[in-house]
Structure 1
Amino acid sequence: MSIYVGNLAYEVTEADLNSVFGEYGSVKRVHVPMDRDTGRMRGFAFVEMESPSQEDSAISTLDGAEWMGRTLKVNKAREREQRSNSGGGRGRRF
């Protein structure tokens, strides 16, 4: 499972997140999505930790905490919802 970290300052780096979440256990992976058009981060990230207990500890402590002038939103990441094929008008409908 991974952790969703929202409301991040645009200056936050993977190293920053590794440092903060590393206080709660071993960080396996950090993913910081970037905006295709601007090339800057999108204001959220995903963090994977070694164990569920480490994730729970980080979530309970960091959710609502202020960091880099922002109030963090930290919770268990949800599965990505499938997009429907109803938009764009690129195909024929039968």
Structure 2
Amino acid sequence: MNIYVGNLAYSVTQDELRDVFGAYGEIASVNLITDRFTGQSKGFGFVEMPNNAEADAAIKALNDTPLKGRNLKVNQAKPRSERSSGRVSRW
């Protein structure tokens, strides 16, 4: 299951997210989203957990809990096709 993790402090690292979620089960990947020009974290990321039961337990346990002074927003990530781009086409 792909898990969205939002409201992250900009100082949170991929290793820290791996440690936090790893307490609930196996982690396939961790991806922090960064600005392509500055490399600065955008304050959200994704954690992939292959076991859905472990992923659900992590979501329930970690949503709205503090990490580095900010309460995490944790939920199942929506597939790209379901998200709107928020952009208006000029053509």
Q: Give the TM interval when normalised to the shorter protein.
A: 0.7 to 0.9
Work out the CA distance in 1 between the residues paired with 2:19 and 2:50.
Answer: 15
**Correspondence list, 1:1-94, <5 A:** 1-80=1-80, 81=83, 83=85, 86-87=89-90, 89=91
Instruction: Provide the alpha-carbon RMSD of the alignment.
Output: 1.6
Q: Summarize the Cα distance change of 1:62–1:37 in structure 2 as closer, same or farther, 3 Å threshold.
A: same
Among all aligned residue pairs of Structure 1 and Structure 2, give the percentage whose two residues are the same amino acid: 47
Determine which structure has more spread, i.e. the larger CA radius of gyration. 1
**TM-score, normalised by the number of residues in structure 2:** 0.88
Which protein has the bigger strand share?
2
Q: Structure 1: which 4+ aligned runs deviate by more than 6 Å?
A: none
Work out the CA distance in 2 between the residues paired with 1:33 and 1:19.
Answer: 18
Structure 2 segments unaligned to the other structure (5+ residues): none
Work out the CA distance in 2 between the residues paired with 1:29 and 1:6.
Answer: 16
Q: Could you tell me which amino acid in structure 2 is paired with residue 14 of structure 1?
A: Q
**TM-score, normalised by the number of residues in structure 1:** 0.85
Q: Could you tell me which amino acid in structure 2 is paired with residue 3 of structure 1?
A: I
Structure 1 segments unaligned to the other structure (5+ residues): 90-94
Deviation at 1:37, TM superposition (A): 2.7
Query: Which range moved further: 55-64 or 30-39?
Result: 30-39
Deviation at 1:36, TM superposition (A): 1.7
Q: Could you tell me which amino acid in structure 1 is paired with residue 9 of structure 2?
A: A
Aligned to 1:92: none
Count of residue pairs the alignment pairs up = 88
Deviation at 1:12, TM superposition (A): 0.7
